[in-house]
Amino acid sequence: CWCYLLWCLFCSACSVVFWFMSCLPPRSIHEKEKFEPTVFRDTIIQGLNEAGGDLDAVAKFLDVTGSRLDYRRYADTLFDILIAGSMLAPGGTRIDDGDKTKVTEHCVFTAEENQTAIRSYAQVFNKLIRRYKYLEKAFEEEIKKLLLFLKAFTESEQTKLAMLTGILLANSILPPQILTSLFSDNIVKEGIAASFAVKLFKAWIAEKDANAVTSALRKASLDKKLLELFPANKQNVEHFSKYFNEAGLKELSDFLRVQQSLGTRKELQKDLQERLSQECPIREIVVYVKEEMKKNDLQEQAVIGLLWACLMNAVEWNKKEELVTEQALKHLKHYAPLLAMFSTQGQSELILLMKIQEYCYDNIHFMKSFSKIVVLFYKADVLSEEAILKWYKDAHAAKGKSVFLEQMKKFVEWLQNAEEESESEREED
């Protein structure tokens, strides 16, 4: 009896539940659009097809529709359609390519292949993201994903995506960090990454200028990674320069050379500092520096400044002005032969003179040491008479100019008199 009673109660409860469910209204079309990806897709496709090529109408449709569709949940589907015309499977293939009712002809990939047409689409994305701020991160992820899918797209589609990305980067709608996707092996090995980057940089420069591009790359710490656009056997400055020069991007080629040179000089300075701290023989240091210059195509003018900085950083200087000069002269006299090996050109000597001037100005205890250091280097054949006179006349730096010119006045007069006497002797002979 008890079992029968429980069974009757259970059946009654089920009947009540079924009756209640039947009284609920059916899900509206808006709810379906919001929670079903296929209905979401169909709604977007229909709206784009109805707007046709009118991108103002497209922007308005996306603005209004976002209030009833779940853009947050289906952001990848939304951006797939706006860029590629349909939903994309992993790898970049079109999911609905065989069904024309689920594909739109009004998207970035079917736009005209020119900066003006692609810029118009960029404005659509800009308006959409400004209206729905939460889409910003999803859009970044979408572009990073598409860069990984480049192999699945035609050359024309790659070009349009490159132009779009360049324009969006130029207008700060996308951050430069999205370019890390281009360093993926699967597109680097086939040359797609480098080709895409060239088109992207051209579009970026057309919107802004080369300085804006290089500044953004430097801030994003991508300046030293540009060589990774090429396979390992072609990751060198010469190949990069040739490729980018031929593409009409000499500014980026020159930029990379400068950045690589800076990186090389930092490493060289670090190694020199280590060798000086270990008190390596001067002969060994000279051999090492010359090898590095040859290997990295460094000029003497770049090296002399590094040597000076390393020598002055190698000592803990006395804080008393009357003692630091004696300490500096003793230290520099020992290393004068090292500096002499890399100050064989007039320009190198002038650079060294300006480095000495700047150092003595920036380190107040050395203010009275300047002329004594210059005279020491003159006697040690590090600095020539011509270089010192040239510096005194018009090649000095602005820092401490009046103080250091006054210090050097008597020595310069002596040099000039010696030069005049020498000329007179030659005339008499």
pLDDT of residue 39: 85
Predicted confidence (pLDDT) at residue 123 exceeds the cutoff of 90: yes
- Average pLDDT taken over every residue of the chain: 88
| Residue 58: closest CA among 118, 109, 123 | 123
CB 117, CB 109: distance < 8 Å: no
* All structural domains of the chain with their residue ranges: 30-210, 279-419
Q: What is the pLDDT of residue 422?
A: 58
**What pLDDT, on a 0 to 100 scale, did the predictor assign at position 21?**
46
- Better pLDDT: 44 or 419: 44
What pLDDT is recorded for position 396?
Answer: 85
Q: What is the mean pLDDT of residues 236-248?
A: 91
| pLDDT score, position 34 | 45
240 or 15, greater pLDDT: 240
Nearest CA among 302, 300, 306, 254 for reference residue 275? 306
> What confidence score (pLDDT) does residue 298 get?
81
CB under 8 Å, gap of 24 or more: what pairs does 341-347 form? 341/286, 342/289, 342/300, 342/303, 342/304, 342/307, 343/300, 343/304, 343/382, 343/383, 344/300, 345/300, 345/301, 346/384, 346/386, 346/387, 346/390, 347/301
Mean pLDDT (whole number) for 358-377:
94
Query: What is the reported pLDDT for 296?
Result: 77
The average pLDDT across 91-100 equals: 81
To the question of domain 279-419 being in CATH 3.30.300.30, the answer is no
pTM (2 decimals)?
A: 0.65
Q: Is the pLDDT score of 411 beyond 80?
A: yes
pLDDT tens sequence across 175-184? 999 999 999 9
Q: What is the spatial distance between Cα 121 and Cα 59, in angstroms, rounded to a whole number? A: 9
**Residues 178, 184, 186, CA angle at the centre, nearest 5°?**
140
CA distance 361 to 31: 73
